[in-house]
């Protein structure tokens, strides 16, 4: 007599492969190689009446960000409101801020977005640190150190 085979439930199931989850395309940049967050930041600053907005291209100068945006506010309350608006509009567009610093101090608020660093400062703080002059310096070709000249050995003298 044959022995009954094991039940179907007791047999190990063949592993089925699940399809890989679809990831969002890395479309963090526009076709002209500009980060998606940059126009959002400029619109938010304009919307909140930020003063003297400057966009500085720091590609090749910094690994932290591709663009730095420097703007001024009229008071510490205005700085916080402008920074909150930048964060709010960035989140609405799917660009989550990596960090926000300085809201409690009120003289300089930093909003770190993917590839865009936003500095919102009081005019006196902006004048003190002069970030535009630091980052908007004229670009120069990389300087290579000159090779040291080979030393010549003194000629041997016969005595």
Find the range with the poorest average confidence among 4-18, 48-62, 78-92, 103-117.
Answer: 4-18
Sheet holding 51-57, edge to edge: 51-57, 67-72, 116-121, 108-113, 99-101
Residue 40 has which token pair?
């959002």
Is residue 7 included in any domain, yes or no?
A: no
The domain containing residue 121 runs over which residues? Answer: 37-135
pLDDT tens-digit map of 62-96: 888 899 999 999 999 999 999 999 999 999 999 89
- Rounded CA-CA distance 73/157 in Å is 77
* 63 occurs within a structural domain: yes
Going by the DSSP 8-state scheme, the letter that residue 157 receives in this structure is -
Evaluate whether residue 88 is within a structural domain.
yes
On whether the CB atoms of residues 155 and 105 are closer than 8 A, the answer is: no
Per the domain annotation, does 152 fall within a domain?
Answer: no
Q: How far apart are CA 119 and CA 113, in angstroms?
A: 11
| Position 119 in a domain | yes
Could you say which DSSP state residue 98 is in?
S
Copy the structure tokens of residue 23. Answer: 């990831």
Residue 88 CA to residue 127 CA, distance in Å, equals 27
Answer positive or negative: Cα dihedral of 79, 80, 82, 87.
positive
Least-confidence region, from 5-19, 21-35, 118-132: 21-35
- Number of domains forming the structure of the chain: 1
- CA 109 to CA 87: how far, in whole Å? 12
Phi, psi of 112 (to 5 degrees): -100, 110
Q: Which CATH number does the domain housing residue 57 bear? A: 3.30.460.10
In a domain, 69, yes or no: yes
- In a domain? residue 64: yes
Task: Give Cα 150 to chain centroid, integer Å.
Answer: 45
Q: The whole model's pTM is what?
A: 0.66
């Amino acid at each position: 007599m044959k022995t009954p085979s094991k039940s179907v439930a007791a047999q190990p199931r063949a592993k089925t492969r699940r399809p890989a989850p679809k990831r969002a395309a890395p479309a963090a940049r526009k076709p002209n190689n500009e980060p998606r967050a940059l126009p959002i930041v400029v619109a938010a600053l304009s919307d909140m009446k930020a003063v003297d907005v400057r966009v500085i291209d720091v590609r090749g100068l910094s690994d932290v960000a591709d663009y730095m945006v420097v703007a001024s506010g009229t008071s510490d309350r205005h700085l916080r409101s402008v920074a909150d608006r930048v964060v709010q509009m960035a989140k609405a567009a799917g660009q989550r801020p990596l960090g926000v610093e300085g809201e409690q101090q009120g003289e300089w608020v930093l909003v770190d977005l993917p590839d865009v660093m936003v500095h919102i400062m009081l005019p006196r703080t902006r004048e003190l640190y002069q970030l535009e002059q630091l980052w908007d310096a004229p670009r120069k070709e990389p300087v290579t150190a000159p090779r040291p000249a080979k030393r010549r050995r003194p000629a041997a003298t016969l005595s």
